[in-house]
Amino acid sequence: MKVRKITPSVFEIPLGVVNAFLINQNELTLIDTGSRQTGSRQTGSGGSTHQLIQAIEQIGRVPGDIRHILITHCHADHAGGLADIQRACEATTYMHAADASMVREGKALRPLTPAPGLLNKALFRAFIAKSPAQITPVKIDHEVSDGELLEIAGGIQAIHVPGHCAGQLVFYWPQEGGVLFAADTASNIGWLQPSIAYENYEEGLRSLRKLTVHPFEVACFGHGKAIRKNAVSRFRQKWLR
């Protein structure tokens, strides 16, 4: 597992099929936690938490430095590792109310359908249909609302983007060129595209259009490679036409 530096302070941590992110300033901020399953095909041996801790050490920090954990949505590949990593630090946890209520009860999934297209149907059957519906229940300290400015890393704006998941948030950090932590609103596996699965596809497209007002140079995805330049132009080309 190799941590990737995306901007001077933003690091991408590949955890099998999913990415988590760190903002490395005086305080350490973690965005998403990977899934918990140990030794599974998704996370490799050791599970996400072990890999997360390794990643934090690779950049010269320790888990106790994490002050804030932002969770984009309740799916097991994003929130499943939260209970474990919380034990290694004393961070405040943040999530949208619609998904916080799920995670507190250990629920990780509402019914999903594949995005349009045969490839999405096949990928859905291979990966999403078997997604765990349960995770370890965990407390969420702060319920975040749409547009809220969080006093984290000099100011991070949360944007509510339902569609893939009713309580999904993305986080816009205006520093270092403007970085959007785009969660599963879209993916960039091979090319920029919608996610494989949605609770409501049309709503997901509306959420993607909503993001294009923010001048982000960099976009980081739950699945796929970060876009490091002109990211918002790519979003506008794709979803505003």
Binding site for Zn ion (CB under 5 A): 75, 77, 184, 222
Write the CA distances from 181 to 32, 113, 116, 157, 171, integer angstroms.
Answer: 10, 23, 24, 10, 5
Closest CB 133 distance from Zn ion, rounded Å: 13
Q: Which is nearer to Zn ion, 9 or 20 (CB)?
A: 20
By beta-carbon proximity to Zn ion, the closer residue of 68 and 75 is 75
One-letter amino acid for residue 233 of the chain: S
Q: Shortest gap between Cβ of 183 and Zn ion (angstroms)?
A: 7
- 218 membership: H or E segment, kind and range: strand 218-220
Termini Cα distance of the chain: 38
| CB 201, min distance to Zn ion, A | 14
Using the minimum distance from each CB to Zn ion, give the nearer residue, 28 or 108: 108
Q: Are 30 and 84 in contact (CB under 8 A)?
A: no
Q: Give the shortest CB-17-to-Zn ion separation in angstroms.
A: 8
Q: How far apart are CA 111 and CA 131, in angstroms?
A: 11
C-beta of 156 vs 182, nearer to Zn ion: 182
Query: What is d(CA 123, CA 119) in angstroms, rounded to the nearest whole number?
Result: 6
Helix (H) or strand (E) holding 208: helix 201-211
CB proximity list for 222: less than 8 A, separation 6 or greater: 18, 19, 32, 72, 77, 78, 182, 183, 184, 187
- Looking at beta carbons only, is 12 or 65 nearer to Zn ion? 12
- Give the shortest CB-184-to-Zn ion separation in angstroms: 4
